[in-house]
Amino acid sequence: TQLLEQSPQFLSIQEGENLTVYCNSSSVFSSLQWYRQEPGEGPVLLVTVVTGGEVKKLKRLTFQFGDARKDSSLHITAAQPGDTGLYLCAGSSHYYGGSQGNLIFGKGTKLSVKP
């Protein structure tokens, strides 16, 4: 069974601080996505990474896919209260026998940014 482990589970920081959250697996993924979910809403896609070692930037958010395509990180610079939410990583793979479009989700990192 493929698992995606996210850490930390909870993170509470002050506005302006930097942070990194991690998504790790013992399995290889063909692609990996990061979503943000706010209370009372469904997850919203932030980025998809496909190539090992790939780095993508979205304003103050930097996403990296590990060289071996087993792990990923999300770094937020100068966090703002609007960044508060549940950050989910999701991997897509054809190795486990399901449709290669299906996603496996981690449990998420719950981020709280205090003003």
Partner 1 sequence: ETGVTQTPRHLVMGMTNKKSLKCEQHLGHNAMYWYKQSAKKPLELMFVYNFKEQTENNSVPSRFSPECPNSSHLFLHLHTLQPEDSALYLCASSQDGADLGNEQFFGPGTRLTVL
**Residues making contact with partner 1 (CB under 8 A):** 4, 30-31, 33, 35, 40-45, 48, 50, 88, 90, 92, 94, 98-108
**Would you say 91 and 32 are in contact if contact means Cβ atoms under 8 Å apart?**
yes
Pick between residue 7 and residue 48 the one whose CB is nearest to partner 1: 48
Closest separation in Å from C-beta 115 to partner 1? 26
Closest separation in Å from C-beta 45 to partner 1? 5
Closest separation in Å from C-beta 38 to partner 1? 10
CA distance 67 to 71: 8
Pick between residue 79 and residue 88 the one whose CB is nearest to partner 1: 88
Pick between residue 43 and residue 76 the one whose CB is nearest to partner 1: 43
Closest separation in Å from C-beta 114 to partner 1? 23
| Of the candidates 57, 35, 55, 32, the residue with the CA atom closest to the CA atom of residue 46 | 35
CA distance 80 to 16: 6
With b meaning 16 or more CB within 10 Å and e meaning fewer, what string describes 52-79? eebeeeeeebbbbbbeebbbbbbebeeb
